[in-house]
Structure 1
Amino acid sequence: MKKLKRPGAFLAAVVPASFLLASINPSSLIFDAGPKASHPQLRYADLAAPEPAALPAHSIVLTVESGDTLDSLLTDGGLDRSESGGLVREVARTLDLRRLRPGNLIRFHYQPDGRVDSVELKVIGWGEIDAVRTDSGFLVVPQVAVQNEIDTIISARIETSLYDSLKAEGEGPQLAQQIADIFQWDVDFFALQRGDEFSLVVKKKFADSDPVGYGPILAARFTHEGQTFEAFRQETSDGRAGYYGRTGMPLRKQFLRAPLKFTRITSKFSKSRWHPILHCFKPHHGVDYGAPVGTPVMTTADGVVVEAGRKGGEGNYIRIRHTSRLDTYYLHLSHFAKGLRRGRKVLQGEVIGYVGRTGLATGPHLDYRVNDHGKWLNPLNLKSISPDPLPKTLLQQFRTNVIRLAARLALPASQVAEFTPKRRALF
């Protein structure tokens, strides 16, 4: 057997009665005595890395690292070049090898003479592959993971940021974007405070026991500065989904609070502000949002592009008309979104350009302005108008969902992953 120098390799000294990818604490198994109980549940937080004693004798486990290929892993495990090339070709018939990423696992089992007699590959989020040596080569048997979704309750208290609070609960950052999208009309995400809280009911996606992402948030509650906002998801007759309060009024407003996500305000609307380049006092008709060059800029409401070009101190700019009176302006852009042109209709939240520092700008930022028939308005004081509520034909269904989901929002956080009843644990 080839001597291994990889730090991620485990070598087993004994043969246990059974071996698992994860060490399982029997107390973590939860059985539902109800009629729907068909298999146990296991909290995925109880999963642990395999210990050497948990592996069969004559076995090693390698962890895929950055720069590894399946061929390099197989030769590290003891296959010669010919055997490795043949096995790579067989595996590629079933698995897109681009899915092989750092953190995946591969186990080798050896005969007493040191030859590899089986290879087992664990691809997180996809499944597992068995390769058993035969007289004519390796027989490859895929075990594709069962994909499922579980309604999960997640609750957190903000200490530093929305991202950090989710991370502390073991959740992914993509949830932060969903939360911001839902409450963007009511919560100022530039001014979150320590002690703000939120609870979610969200569809969490699993491939067997591996968490692989999220579906839509079904219900959410967010408390900011002592004020609590709620949102419940509802699909409409045209197939689109939106978020509504308990009464069926939409959270979506005519105007977004800001054209950027997760940035900071560097300069507010003012009738007399010291201009950092011209060195004199001048009115500042907008709000400056500091952000890195290339940050996407969204239109704050549905409208039509009236202007998109370059003008003196404004640099690259866009003007969008929303009503017969209201226009919004987006200044100092690095460039425009592909296909943006005069006369094009745009929808609220659509990316129209990217933050830059063109024109008179000391650093990358967006100058966002609102004009009402020739009068400049402070965007931070702009009061939004809500669209129409849910139609009566959907209200009964919506109210039933609110009762069910609101009760779940009040429950403690639960992060429980259901295992398939006959799941094979290879490692």
Structure 2
Amino acid sequence: MHPIIKTSKKVLCTALEQLPRGHLVAASSLVASLLVILALNPEQPLPQESFEVTTQDIITDTELADSLPDTSLLLAKPSNQTLATAINGLAFSDINSILKPEAAVAAKEAKPVKPAMQELTIKSGDNLSSVFARMGLNDRDIYELFDGNKSAKDLRSIAPGQKFEFLVDTQGKLQELKYYKNNLDSLKFTRNETGFTSQQISLKPEVKRTFREGTINSSLFLAGKQAGLPNTLTMELANIFGYDVDFALDIQKGDQFKVLFEEQYLNNKKIGTGAILTAEFTNAGKTYRAVRYTNKDGVTRYYTPDGKGLNKAFLRTPVDFVRISSAFSLSRLHPVLNTIRAHKGTDYAAAIGTPIRATGDGKVIFAGRQGGYGNLIVIQHGQGYETRYGHMNSFAKGISTGSRVSQGQVIGAVGKTGLASGPHLHYEFHVNGQVRNPVTVQLPQSMGIASNEKDRFNSATQTLVAQLQSSERNSRLALGETKTKSN
């Protein structure tokens, strides 16, 4: 190696080791500039003023001047070619080896930060436009999201408390959106080359069975609260046994209840309460029991453990009405025909469009137009019971001849089709082919489990009853251990 190159390299390395961090960066820039100039024209004389300015800048810096050794050899007017060779001999790897890691990282250009998902909670009064505006987006972004994407229609029904997650890039363009309908169901939109794709996401919670029991001292509500039973299940408990126990008049101090119900968990966090699976209620020394069962047709009801129905088989009225406009009568003057004709049902006056509900479980054996009835639905309920709903304005979606319906299900809307002087529902109740007054007829208890489904019922419910009893025993043992320890 040429002596000048060897000496120059040694001098520069020594100087760089002594320079503060800020000066190291400046020195690196200086070397890079000189390399570019010499590489372009190595034979061209180096501009004296440029060299002198650079030298002056370095020498006049107080900290640098104090720290640098004698650099006379470097500035002893070597030829341009010699200087270029010397500088090229000092590779950047030598400089990088001297710079500390922190300085090297700081000298590199910072990498762009990747946009992160931003969460937003729906507030009262929000709509899609206001939600997007809070994220710096506009109606054009909403249009792009909806364009050709049928799933986006779900975004029209947002509600307070629901959550969104937005991923917006550095140019302010929406790249991804997550809409959380509830704790389990969400909708994800992802941008691609042509628009947005959508994905429905449904999480499956862990379902646990929970046992609660209590003794009434003042009211069922307070007893349920003390036992840790959610208010909704306390009300459900009253509804289950409501046909046997009057919870306003029959409740006595000392009455007891036991309940086995479902709770839902996600990531070990409780997210919801399910239905009562089985329960007991003791009133004035008499115990009533109930189990929840879904039959082959998908209808869920509560029954006694031996398969008897707990509720009434029929609702008393099929519609929320203003008044009875025409009662059941076998000798009524027809308001349209102006003749004496038996009125084999009850007319309930109500506004057009008022929902009509099936008064019992059954099968639709007719749904269509029939003479003076106008739009008519006839439901067969089994064991000789049949109900009719006339003058309807329209039928509910999915209701047609052959449809299965459950008690309380909306089957259509009030109208004035057929021979009707005004909007009302004409309701008939038949028993074994004979018409009965629906207001005064003795309604039967809910029909029990059919004989051909008894085995299926027993298989599904006996386990629940056994688990309720087992939970009760375990609760008694735990209570006994607690008392023993406290004594």
TM-score normalised according to structure 2 size? 0.42
Larger RCO (CA within 8 A; separation ≥ 6): 1
* Between structures 1 and 2, the one with greater helix share: 2
Q: Which has the higher Rg, Structure 1 or Structure 2?
A: 2
* Between structures 1 and 2, the one with greater strand share: 1
